[in-house]
Structure 1
Amino acid sequence: MGAAAATEGTSDVTQYEAAARAPAAPAPIAAVHVPAADLPGARAMFATLGERAAAQAVALRPPPAEPTTCCGRGCNGCVWEGFYAAAEWWRQDALEALQAAAPAVAPPG
């Protein structure tokens, strides 16, 4: 059995399902400044912003729930697309809340 035969059955896995199965990686600081492109990135972004909010005593709404109903067929309008759109909205909302709570820095003068 060749390498092609060994991977034949894996073509049904969508990029979203593959991302959902990947382990979560630690979030680099820049991860909160760009939209999440995969589930580990979204989880890292939620964790990083949650930690920042806790450190600044800022209350954030809960991040969106991860989809559980993906059929894996690559549908137009997949539940993962909605999740990433909601995650981006949550990210922007969280960054605004953190910025509003940050102490004002007086300009040098």
Structure 2
Amino acid sequence: MFKTLKYVPIYPTKPFGSVIEARQWVSTFCRWYNYSHRHSGLKFVTPAQRHRGKDKGILEERKHVYEAARRKHPERWSGKIRNWDHETAVELNPVNQAPENSEDKIAA
């Protein structure tokens, strides 16, 4: 989330004049992040849409739009459409799971 905060277009160019200004900016950022920012890890829905369960309908509609576009202009598509299936669980910072017997593979 730090990178998103640091590189957001509204990131201040000058230091905050007070703690109150800093808090106001962070509050504005949090509203933007939760209600406007379409997160790539959430398949381009906002965290608020995901939290409220509205993402299922949005993703289903996107899938239909992509399928219709592909049927209408197949020459524009070189492969499959984007995966718009709803994920039951998402993680902010997923940890890569080591495969079973990873110790054996490392030792070999």
Question: TM-score, normalization: structure 2?
Answer: 0.28
Q: Which has the larger radius of gyration?
A: 2
